[in-house]
């Protein structure tokens, strides 16, 4: 960034003595560059960058991680106040239960799992959705007796606009091959450990046990996997392109919500 050509130095009009006619009191107005703008005086333009992080991502999890640069930090706060949902793909494994709900933890119990069918899993998933939908309506702090609450509920736009416990708005079973399964979870205000706990509780509810093998965030508000930069793309050009591409989307989303 510092190697890129910077701003041209400011020019100032100074009255300098005329080059010819030594000793004569002739002053000529000339434009001279201001010395204070000289690169050797000023130094590199950028010494530090203010980078802020968006929603937290665990060490064991992977996926989209939003960072803000400079003015983007303020946009990050606004995006946080929009309370948009995040989408995760969560992979689980039946038959084991560990102390930290992931497959790298200390083993607590092993159980059989051959009685589990996709239909039973979908039933449990439907119950989780139902209970969380109820929590969504309750934490949104809207008076249920108003016509406005009814209209928002019909459109599905009721959501908590303040602090709330983790709420799952939608779950879907993507893959099911005993003992592994994969779920797609849309949630609000959650942590990845909470999602691992949900996998553990699904295992308990199915009268077996489950551990979480993979948590991958595939969407964070307006940012999806396609916008995310891979490790090989962490260079200036791709970062600049990425910022430019999502500027418009972020602006429209903020205007829509706030």
Partner 1 sequence: AGAMWGALRGVRRPPAALRRGLAKAAGPRSARQLREAEEAAPVFQYVGKAAKRKDRVFVWGFCYSGALGIPSFVKPDVGWKKPRRIQPTPYRLETEEKISSAACGYGFTLLSSNTTDITKVWGMGLNKDSQLGFQRSRRDRAKGYEYVLEPSPIPLPLEKPQQTRVLQVSCGRAHSLILTDSEGVFTMGNNAYGQCGRKVVEDETYSESHLIHQLKEFDSRVVQVVCGQDHSLFRTKKGAVYACGWGADGQTGLGHYNITSVPTKLRGDIAGVNIIQVSSYGDCCLAVSDEGDVFGWGNSEYLQLASVTETTQVNVPRHLPFKIGKIKEAACGGTGNIVLTEEGNVFVWGYGILGKGPNLIETAVPEMIPPSLFGWSDFNPDIRVAHVRCGLGHFAALTNRGELFVWGKNLRGCLGTGRMEDQYFPWRVTVPGEVVDVACGVDHMVSMVKSF
Segment lying near partner 1 (by CB under 8 A), choices 4-12, 59-67, 77-85, 132-140: 132-140
Among 1, 51, 126, 174, binds partner 1 (CB under 8 A): 126
**Is 133 one of the binding residues for partner 1 (CB under 8 A)?**
yes
**Is 224 one of the binding residues for partner 1 (CB under 8 A)?**
no
Grouping H, G, I as helix, E, B as strand and the rest as coil, residue 74 is helix
Count other Cβ atoms within 10 Å, centred on residue 155. 7
Closer CB to partner 1, 138 or 254, in the complex:
138
**Shortest CB 84 distance to partner 1, Å:** 16
Take residue 156 and report the two structure tokens written for it: 């599905």
**Is 240 one of the binding residues for partner 1 (CB under 8 A)?**
no
**Shortest CB 160 distance to partner 1, Å:** 17
**Is 154 one of the binding residues for partner 1 (CB under 8 A)?**
yes
Among 3, 22, 40, 147, binds partner 1 (CB under 8 A): 147
Burial group, residue 161, by CB count within 10 angstroms (0-12, 13-18, 19+)? middle
Active-site entry in 58, 100, 103, 227: 58
With tokens 């919500």, the residue in question is 257
**Is 256 one of the binding residues for partner 1 (CB under 8 A)?**
no
**Is 109 one of the binding residues for partner 1 (CB under 8 A)?**
yes
Segment lying near partner 1 (by CB under 8 A), choices 10-18, 53-61, 140-148, 238-246: 140-148
**Is 129 one of the binding residues for partner 1 (CB under 8 A)?**
yes
**Is 237 one of the binding residues for partner 1 (CB under 8 A)?**
no
**Is 114 one of the binding residues for partner 1 (CB under 8 A)?**
yes
- The string of DSSP codes covering 164-212 is ---EEEEEEEEEEETTEEEEEEEEES--HHHHHHHHHHHHHHTTS-EEE
Residue count at the site for partner 1 (CB under 8 A)?
Answer: 38
**Is 45 one of the binding residues for partner 1 (CB under 8 A)?**
no
Take residue 94 and report the two structure tokens written for it: 């039946």
Contacts 24+ apart (CB under 8 A), 191-196: 191/56, 191/58, 191/166, 192/57, 192/58, 192/60, 192/61, 192/88, 193/58, 193/100, 193/101, 194/166, 195/88, 195/90, 196/90, 196/100, 196/101, 196/102
Closer CB to partner 1, 98 or 250, in the complex:
98
Q: Is 226 a catalytic residue?
A: no
Q: Contact 90/214 with Cβ under 8 angstroms?
A: yes
Q: Contact 221/86 with Cβ under 8 angstroms?
A: yes
Q: How many CA atoms lie within 13 Å of 105's alpha carbon, on the beta-carbon side? A: 19
**Is 165 one of the binding residues for partner 1 (CB under 8 A)?**
no
**Is 100 one of the binding residues for partner 1 (CB under 8 A)?**
no
Report, as residue numbers or ranges, the catalytic residues: 58
What residue ranges bind partner 1 (CB under 8 A)?
Answer: 95-96, 107, 109-112, 114-115, 120, 123-124, 126-127, 129-131, 133-134, 137, 144-147, 149-151, 153-156, 170, 172, 186, 205-208
């Amino acid at each position: 960034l510092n190697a890129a050509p910077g701003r041209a130095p400011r020019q100032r009009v100074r009255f300098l003595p005329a080059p010819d006619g030594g000793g004569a009191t002739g002053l000529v107005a000339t434009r001279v560059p201001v010395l204070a703008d000289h690169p050797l005086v000023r130094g590199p333009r950028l010494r530090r960058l203010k980078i802020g992080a968006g929603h937290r991502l665990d060490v064991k999890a992977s996926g989209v991680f939003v960072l803000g640069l400079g003015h983007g930090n303020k946009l990050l706060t606004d995006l946080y106040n929009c309370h948009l949902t995040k989408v995760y793909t969560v992979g689980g494994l039946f038959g084991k239960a560990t102390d930290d709900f992931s497959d790298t933890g200390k083993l607590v119990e092993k159980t059989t799992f051959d009685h589990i069918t996709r239909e039973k899993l979908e039933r449990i998933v439907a119950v989780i959705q139902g209970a969380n939908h109820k929590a969504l309506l309750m934490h949104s702090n809207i008076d249920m007796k108003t016509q406005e609450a009814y209209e928002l509920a019909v459109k599905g736009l009721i959501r908590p606009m303040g602090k709330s416990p983790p709420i799952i708005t939608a779950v879907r079973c993507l893959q099911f091959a005993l003992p592994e399964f994969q779920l797609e979870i849309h949630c609000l205000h959650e942590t990845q450990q909470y999602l691992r706990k949900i996998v553990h509780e699904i295992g308990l509810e199915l009268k077996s046990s489950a551990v979480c093998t993979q948590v991958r965030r595939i969407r964070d508000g307006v940012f999806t996997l396609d916008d995310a930069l891979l490790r090989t793309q962490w260079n200036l050009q791709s970062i600049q392109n990425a910022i430019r591409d999502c500027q418009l989307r972020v602006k429209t989303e903020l205007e829509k919500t706030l």
